[in-house]
Structure 1
Amino acid sequence: MTSERATTDPHPADKRPLLEIDHLSVDFRLESSVVHAVQDVSLHVHAGETLAVVGESGSGKSATALSVLRLNPSPPCVYTGGEIRFDGRDLLTLSEKELGRVRGRDIAMVFQDPMTCLDPLQRVGAQVAEVLRLHTGISRAEARKAALAALDEVGIPDPEVRYRQYPHELSGGLRQRVMIATALVTRPRVVIADEPTTALDVTVQRQILDLLVSLQDKHDMAVVLITHDLAVVAETADRVAVMNKGRVVETGEVLDVFDRPADAYTRRLLAATPRLEAA
């Protein structure tokens, strides 16, 4: 059973969340077994808000995040129950063509490892521009101008030079900034960041998280942050959902959950985190 906090919701009761996951269940049907990866999960996030989803490896947090845009591999993935509503529409019922209009335009993802997402044979600037042209149909010249502006906005130095480089020519931190530029160039309303700083050193992690927060404030985006790092949650999120074995076991305002965890699993997770300081 989920431990839901009775804290004051900062959003008016009549204001619908931008993204709602409602009683979602997801199975992975393998040859010899069925893995119940997500079980009856309900989450929501409003515009301008950051919801962190935390849990250890295998808790179901990434499977939940990938379900929003139906990015889990199918087969073996089967969505067995629930709804995922964006602006009131159930994304699980959309055709691939309809969902393609949402992916990357209204809802974007920032993944953990840019090298698995960026095309190694294409210049990074062209990849940012390509996303914009796909969703808006603007000219190559206009897309190039917008892509350069996006690279500059995410703090990439010498964007004209970087535009022409290939992914392997950039550092890990710069590649992640390119990923963020690619995600935000269409001005999405929701960004899902799946472990966006795990592969980076501590200093670069701080820079990337600060960048996400500043861009969220600038564009009033909803952010769903998938992470196992509770220190990151304390510094960046408004609310937190704790997942264990495919279920949400506790959710609420970050400081409330961290100061007074109601679920035994949350308490164990916090106890295993050294020197956690809530900002």
Structure 2
Amino acid sequence: MTSTHGSPAAPTAAPVLEFRDLRVDFRLSGSTVHAVRGVNLSVAAGETLAVVGESGSGKSATALSALRLNPEPPCVYAGGEILLDGRDVLGLSERQLRRVRGAEISMVFQDPMTSLDPLQRVGHQITEVLRLHGDHTRAEARSAALTALDEVGVPDPERRFRQYPHELSGGLRQRVMIASALVARPRVLIADEPTTALDVTVQRQILDLLVRLQHRHGMAVVLITHDLGVVAETADRVAVMRHGEVVETGDVEQVFARPAAPYTRRLLDATPRLEPVA
């Protein structure tokens, strides 16, 4: 697949999630911020699309739009479509969105302490996802939650199931977030800087876990990151964003080897490289 400057590179398989000419504004007192400006992106089942760019590039605003999680107001979806298996998410009612969130598209955030309820036990927060999206009995939901905790590598799931988030380490909290995101077997997982708050060793474990689970379940993954090293190791395709626009998309190896956009070249030049010791 050839990298293209300023135009989307589509996966070879039919996309599960597709952003078409998406435009997102934030209307503040006396001004309008055009956070996302005509973005075109797509991701297929079993594929990882990495979206990279500096802070303020619009990558997180784009990702949050897939679940309509940007606060409305001040957010206004000014144009375009977000297609999930051909259905436009921007046209769904709040009731229809609740059926999509967690069941068809799930999201893992940067800091689980801001996403997990500190007053609810871990097990309750995972089983709640299933109770909202199906006819699971309490026992069935509990069994599925324990399986999910085991699948993401949480030791002693029975004990962790009964604990509160503050009783867990940062790495375990992130694993709980991933278990909660995947327990309903969504088609798409969006991971927004999922390892930034973790130390390097735990980062590697979490990224390996995401790759392993994607292969097991055939999910489409959208990885939001500023870390080009993570992109090189985990993604199939990459989209580079700047000032709310996609400036380059394509196969990771080709974009890294032959970047077409000057901004992409600057990002790659700014990435630290290990030099051999003389």
Question: After the TM superposition, which residues 33-44 of structure 1 pair with which residues of structure 2 at under 5 Å, given as runs?
Answer: 33-44=31-42
Question: After the TM superposition, which residues 24-35 of structure 1 pair with which residues of structure 2 at under 5 Å, given as runs?
Answer: 24-35=22-33
Matched with 1:210 is 208
Q: Distance in 2 between matches of 1:137 and 1:263?
A: 50
* 1:143 is the counterpart of 2:146: no
Deviation at 1:99, TM superposition (A): 1.3
Q: What is the aligned-residue RMSD (CA, Å)?
A: 1.6
Matched with 1:92 is 90
Deviation at 1:10, TM superposition (A): 6.3
Does the CA contact (< 8 Å) of 1:19 and 1:86 recur in 2?
Answer: yes
What amino acid is aligned across from residue 117 of structure 1 in structure 2? S
Question: After the TM superposition, which residues 113-192 of structure 1 pair with which residues of structure 2 at under 5 Å, given as runs?
Answer: 113-192=111-190
Deviation at 1:125, TM superposition (A): 1.1
Q: Distance in 2 between matches of 1:190 and 1:276?
A: 34
Does the CA contact (< 8 Å) of 1:26 and 1:78 recur in 2?
Answer: yes
Question: After the TM superposition, which residues 4-83 of structure 1 pair with which residues of structure 2 at under 5 Å, given as runs?
Answer: 11=12, 15-83=13-81
Give the count of matched residue pairs. Answer: 272
Secondary structure in 2 aligned to 1:120? coil
Deviation sequence 1:160-203 (CA, Å, 0-9, x none): 01000000000000000000000000000100000000000000
Gaps (5+ residues) in structure 2? Answer: none
Deviation sequence 1:241-268 (CA, Å, 0-9, x none): 0000000000000010001100000011
Runs of 4+ in 1 over 2 A off after TM superposition: 4-7
Q: Distance in 1 between matches of 2:247 and 2:35?
A: 14
Taking only the aligned residue pairs, the percentage that are identical comes to 76
Matched with 1:102 is 100
Report the more deviating stretch, 88-97 or 268-277: 268-277
Deviation at 1:16, TM superposition (A): 2.4
Structure 2 length-normalised TM? 0.95
Deviation at 1:32, TM superposition (A): 2.2
What amino acid is aligned across from residue 155 of structure 2 in structure 1? P
Matched with 2:218 is 220
Secondary structure in 2 aligned to 1:241? strand
Deviation at 1:210, TM superposition (A): 0.2
Secondary structure in 1 aligned to 2:194? coil
Q: Distance in 2 between matches of 1:85 and 1:76?
A: 23
Q: Distance in 2 between matches of 1:46 and 1:234?
A: 19
Distance 1:66 1:88, change over 3 A: same
Q: Distance in 1 between matches of 2:77 and 2:263?
A: 26
Report the more deviating stretch, 131-140 or 38-47: 131-140
Q: Distance in 1 between matches of 2:104 and 2:30?
A: 38
Matched with 1:243 is 241
What amino acid is aligned across from residue 159 of structure 1 in structure 2? P
Match of 1:256 among 248, 254, 257: 254
Distance 1:276 1:212, change over 3 A: farther
Match of 1:198 among 191, 196, 213: 196
What amino acid is aligned across from residue 3 of structure 1 in structure 2? H
Q: Distance in 1 between matches of 2:6 and 2:30?
A: 36
Deviation at 1:275, TM superposition (A): 1.4
Does the CA contact (< 8 Å) of 1:21 and 1:44 recur in 2?
Answer: yes
Deviation sequence 1:91-112 (CA, Å, 0-9, x none): 0011111111111000000001
Deviation at 1:86, TM superposition (A): 0.4
Structure 1 length-normalised TM? 0.95
Q: Distance in 1 between matches of 2:178 and 2:147?
A: 13
Does the CA contact (< 8 Å) of 1:242 and 1:266 recur in 2?
Answer: yes
Q: Distance in 2 between matches of 1:66 and 1:6?
A: 19
* 1:3 is the counterpart of 2:1: no
